Chains A and B, each alone.
Chain A
Amino acid sequence: MTELLITATLILVKLILIFAVVLSLAAYMVLAERKILGRMQLRYGPNRVGPFGLCQPLADVIKLLTKEDLVPARADRVMFLIAPGMASLIALLSFAVVPFSPPVTLFGREIPMVVCDLNIGLLYFLGLSSLAVYSIALGGWASNSKYALLGAIRGLAQLISYELSMGLAVVPVVLSAKSFSLTDIVLSQADWPNMVRHPVAFVIFMISVMAESKRTPFDLPEGENEIVAGYHTEYSGMRFGLFFVGEYINVIILGAMVTVLFLGGWHGPLLPPIVWFALKVLAVAFCFIWTRGTLPRLRYDQLMHFGWKFLIPVALANVLVTGAVMLAIGS
């Protein structure tokens, strides 16, 4: 029974740590994005609240919390209220399977640096990312507004399409690691990160991940010059904030997944593993922001054509070629 208690406590402690780190990181991602985008457009970005604008996230949270929480009169109330929470919750849940560093030995116990090392960790992540559709769909539908509905429908179609290419892009990784467990996948990249071994899969995965996170150039569900704000048009106050924070948590989790699957996770010279992991996640997050500062939004038919007629065939061919090569060299 004490064993059980210790396990439960450990999981709780890890959960709280991840919660705190991820949520504050998400808040500062917002600031980082605004500052980096600003610099790319020869502006400063927010720099008034605190030194270098470092207290800006706090000010934003206070603003969002004190704003009125509006519910449209003919909205589906229950679903309208639940949807934004779902967006953040599902994004947070994915962190359960991400391994941050090799197991640490503390007080004679080996503590794995992952909340729950499922042997189907990768599928768990894919499952959650496919559930993320529901928060958009229900939020947009329950708002009872045409813009929100259009955004929701766009989001549904986009996420379903790019999930396929994302799932196909990780197949070579699973093939070379021979496991669905994310810890095993990281361990299999001790000498070479998968980015070098499977460059095509890496590129496809990066593009699909950007589409999954609904960010520029794939931000059609919230394309503001066509459908106001898309699926969260009718949201205000902290409920909008939850959608917003969910997006940035999503960026971090997707960055962590790219790190784990393709960039070699915690492996790296000199620095401690956890630092390497954090650096890689932040680098991927920077790429997301960089892309947002660079590329314009795709048109809707371009999005669908690119997903179905280019990414998925290439991903399929990549799976085939990778399988053939691995069979040939007998690894």
Chain B
Amino acid sequence: MIASVVFYLLAAATLAATLLCITRTSPVHAVIYLVHAFFDLALIFYLFGAPLVAAWEMIIYAGAIMVLFLFIIMMLELAPGGKPLTVDRRRWIPVLLLSLVTLGCTVLLIVLDPAAAGSGAAFHASPREFGTALFDRYALAVQVVSFQLLFAAVGAYYVGKGEPRARGDNP
């Protein structure tokens, strides 16, 4: 019961954050709302009994990919905005609302631990089971994907290498 309430709250927060993300004019704000959506998504994964996926969602999507997005945006657009931003208290509303929902759900998740006790128990996958499945049943798929990543890495290296520079030529 509580698990489904938490789920709907989190799902709504995810949707709201994503909507806010695609309607923002400032790219940095959009990235932040997207990170928030990822955070809520990670909580949903945790609720569903997939803590490992939740952790990867945080580490890879929120922690690495979006940081790279932010990096590029910050390199390209140097100032927060052309005109001085007015002090508008309404800008706090979505921020606070989303944060409160996420925080509340996190606390509920920790205290109740629905993944262990509630509805998700049947599908609960520990890191060990997850790893076994990934590298046993889906080993081929994992290899194919990793080869693709390797090709991409080699390609990126080749493209980024550029013209060989003459010796003694300081950058």
**A–B touching in complex (CB under 8 Å):** yes
**B149 proximal to A (CB < 8 A):** no
B70 contacts A156, C-beta separation under 8 Å: yes
Q: Which B residues fall within an 8 A CB radius of A?
A: 26, 28-29, 32, 35, 51-52, 54-56, 58-59, 62-64, 67-68, 70-71, 74-75, 78-81, 84-85, 87, 91-92, 95, 110-112, 126-128
Task: Tell me whether B58 and A131 are in contact (CB under 8 A).
Answer: yes
Type the 1/0 row for A60-76, where 1 means its CB is closer than 8 Å to any CB of B.
00000000000001111
Report whether B74 and A141 are in contact in the complex, using a CB–CB cutoff of 8 Å: yes
Given contacts A82-B95, A120-B52, contact A74 B85 (CB under 8 A): yes
For A159, what are the chain B residues with a Cβ–Cβ distance below 8 Å? 67
**Given known contacts A4-B112, A130-B58, A137-B70, is B80 in contact with A142 (CB within 8 Å)?**
yes
- Chain A residues 159 to 174 lying within 8 A of chain B, measured CB to CB, are 159-160, 163, 167
Residue of A nearest to B106 (CB): A93
Is the CB of A11 closer than 8 A to any CB of chain B? yes
- Contact across chains for A180 and B127 when beta carbons are under 8 A apart: yes
Which residue of B has the minimal Cβ distance to A160? B67
Please give 16 more A-B residue pairs, beta carbons under 8 A apart, in addition to A77-B87, A79-B80.
A4-B112, A74-B85, A77-B85, A79-B32, A96-B110, A119-B51, A120-B52, A120-B55, A123-B51, A124-B58, A127-B55, A130-B58, A133-B63, A137-B70, A144-B80, A167-B59
Report chain B residues within 8 Å CB of A22. none
Closest to A76 in B: B80
Determine if B91 and A78 form an interchain contact, defined as CB atoms under 8 angstroms apart: yes
Measured between beta carbons, the chain A residues less than 8 angstroms from B81 are 74, 76
Residue of B nearest to A130 (CB): B63
Which residue of chain A has the shortest Cβ distance to B39 in the bound complex?
A131
User: Would you call A134 and B35 a contact (CB within 8 A)?
Assistant: yes
Give the distance in Å from the alpha carbon of A8 to the alpha carbon of B128 in the complex.
29
- B63 cross-chain contacts in A, Cβ below 8 A: 126-127, 130-131, 133, 163
29 contacts between A and B (CB under 8 A): A4-B112, A7-B111, A8-B111, A11-B111, A73-B84, A74-B79, A74-B81, A74-B85, A75-B85, A76-B26, A78-B92, A79-B32, A79-B80, A119-B51, A123-B51, A123-B55, A130-B59, A134-B32, A134-B67, A134-B70, A137-B67, A138-B28, A141-B28, A146-B78, A152-B74, A153-B75, A156-B67, A160-B67, A179-B127
- A160 to B59 Cα, complex, angstroms: 11
Contacts of A119 in B (CB 8 A): 51, 126-127
Q: How far is the CA of A142 from the CA of B28 in the complex (A)?
A: 10
A-B Cβ contacts below 8 A, count = 111
Q: Does chain B have a CB within 8 A of A314?
A: no
A4 near B74 (CB under 8 angstroms)? no
Are the C-beta atoms of A156 and B71 separated by less than 8 Å? yes
Q: Which residues of B contact A137 (CB under 8 A)?
A: 67, 70-71, 74
Q: Does residue A285 face the partner (Cβ distance < 8 Å to B)?
A: no
- Bound-state CA distance A179–B51 (Å) is 13
Docked-complex contact B74 and A153, CB < 8 angstroms: yes
Interface hub of A11, A78, A152, A178 (most chain B Cβ within 10 A): A78
Is A118 in contact with chain B by the CB < 8 A criterion? yes
Chain A residues 186 to 225 lying within 8 A of chain B, measured CB to CB, are: none
A149 and B74 contact, Cβ closer than 8 Å, known pairs A8-B111, A160-B67: yes
Interface membership of A116, Cβ < 8 A: yes
Q: Do B127 and A120 have beta carbons less than 8 Å apart?
A: yes
Contacts of A133 in B (CB 8 A): 63, 67
Q: Nearest Cβ in chain B — how far from A81, in angstroms?
A: 9
Kindly state the separation between the CA atoms of A82 and B85 in the bound complex, as whole angstroms. 16
**A157 within 8 Å of B (CB atoms):** yes
Residue of A79, A127, A142, A179 most packed against chain B (CB within 10 A): A127
